Amino acid sequence: MRYWAAAKAAAGAAEEPYAAATLAEALDAARRRHTERPEFARVLLRCSFLVDGDPVGTRDHTTVQLAEGGTVEVLPPFAGG
């Protein structure tokens, strides 16, 4: 998982590995990993996700399959333009 902007700050890391079959599983594992950082879970609620470069959009995270060695980008809302 690669964290950007506020997600990176809340996680205290730019990236970390995951072992999960779906996006929902990966996000649940990340939340458990960062229970000492309650802001992390709040930030995730506002984030968008890219899985191997493809936007997840409004798809149910339990249906988004992850490939071994793939990348999940965690993108909080951006301001400006």
Give the CA angle between residues 50, 54, 57 to the nearest 5°.
65
**Distance (Å, whole) CA 79 – CA 81:** 7
Runs of H (alpha helix) within the chain = 5-11, 23-33, 38-46
For the stretch 29-80, pLDDT in tens is: 999 999 999 999 999 999 999 999 999 999 999 999 999 999 999 999 875 5
pTM of the model: 0.92
Which of 41, 22, 39 is CA-nearest to residue 30? 41
